[in-house]
Amino acid sequence: MKEAQQITGADTLGHVGAAYKGTLSLPNLGRLGLSNLRKEAIPGIPNAPHPLAYYGKMIEISAGKDSMDGHWEMMGLKPLSTFPQGFPQAIIDQIAEFSGRKVVVNQPYSGTDVIHDYGERQMDTGELIVYTSGDSVMQIAAHEDVIPVEELYKICRFARTMLNGPDYQVGRVIARPYIGPDKDHFIRTANRRDFTLEPSSPTVIDQLHQAGYTTIEIGKTNDIFSGHGFTKTYHNESNMDGMDHVDEVMKQNFTGFCFTNLVDFDTMYGHRRDPQGFGQALIDFDRRLGKVLHNLKNNDLLIVTADHGNDPGFRGTDHTRENVPLLVYSPSMQKSGPLGTRPTFADFGATVLDNFSLARGEYGTSFLEQLV
């Protein structure tokens, strides 16, 4: 697989640290080696002379840069299709024929900008606003007073059937209803619904589950994999609610894999370009991470990473393509050190399989043997 290009100037951790003017305090992430994986330390977080963990970075191969692309690559699935020039006309024509409505836009667009620019037209004509982004997604927007929500869902379900492969595999078809009287007052509503692609082949999670290991999900990971392979799931209301679930799971006696996603960094602060809020969320997480480190058993393996970047100090509101941090620790380790820059997120999943002595898939190389 060919490496996708990173976004020049994006630096989530660096910009958050700079916003705090050197006062960002993350003692637990710091002692694991968070700043050691960079050429320059994060402002406020010095390099650890003797880091607790192995540390490195991972490069995303997938062309998209959202949660689904990141998680699927981690768990060994092939990259999804993206449409930087818009969707093929044949697909657009079929949506128009099925819905009885014309389609406008069909190009990458900001979700808030597209309803500002085309929402009044959509109210007048009843057309469908179809757009995409740099990620593997089709979004269909319509005013709720013009196209009822259930009708929009029906159209999205049809679109989903055309994007399941083999020619085009799109991660999500998203219904984007909005309300309001005019372009200056349009609001996207909570009636958004995601119609996700079923995993195209067995994932790392499926392999663990089929081998008899417990597989636990905390956060939105269950939705990303359409419920495949998990023994037990926990829905998070917030990052701290998610960490409460982590504490609960760590009290349980099981052999297997717990996959946790904390979404507030992304939805609450990254997209809203709020570096102060992002930094406080990191501080709160770091505090809870201290309890996790204290409660790890000798045979536990902790991997801290991310599924994409979302630099709150960067332009725009979209995800930012960046190499993600990788911190790996177990109380049984006798040493620590660099893991380098891993060529794909799939190295994470390959390492998880290797940890349980299961055969690795097509993508990814395990770094388990480097952990001593």
Cα(first)–Cα(last) distance of the chain, in Å?
Answer: 29
The Cα 372–Cα 358 span in angstroms is 20
How far apart (Å, rounded) are the C-alpha atoms in residues 98 and 322?
A: 39
Mean pLDDT, the chain, rounded, equals 94
Report the candidate in 277, 280, 272, 279 with the shortest Cα–Cα distance to residue 318.
272
| CATH of region 12-80+199-370 | 3.40.720.10
Q: Summarize the confidence of residues 133-161 as an average pLDDT.
A: 96
Domain 89-196: assigned CATH number: 3.30.70.1250
Question: pLDDT band at 1, cuts 50/70/90?
Answer: very low
Token code pair at residue 306: 């991310």
Query: Taking residues 115-123, what's their average pLDDT?
Result: 98
**pLDDT tens-place string over residues 68-118:** 889 999 999 888 889 999 999 999 999 999 999 999 999 999 899 999 999
CA gyration radius for the chain?
21
Domains of the chain: which residue ranges? 12-80+199-370, 89-196
pLDDT tens column, 6-54: 778 999 999 999 999 999 999 999 999 999 999 999 999 999 999 999 9
pLDDT beyond 60 at 349:
yes
User: What pLDDT score does 165 carry?
Assistant: 86
Instruction: Give the number of other CB atoms < 10 A from CB of residue 93.
Output: 11
CA 306 to chain centre: 7
- What does the pLDDT average to over 220-225? 88
According to DSSP H, which parts of 211-274 are helical? 221-224, 239-250, 264
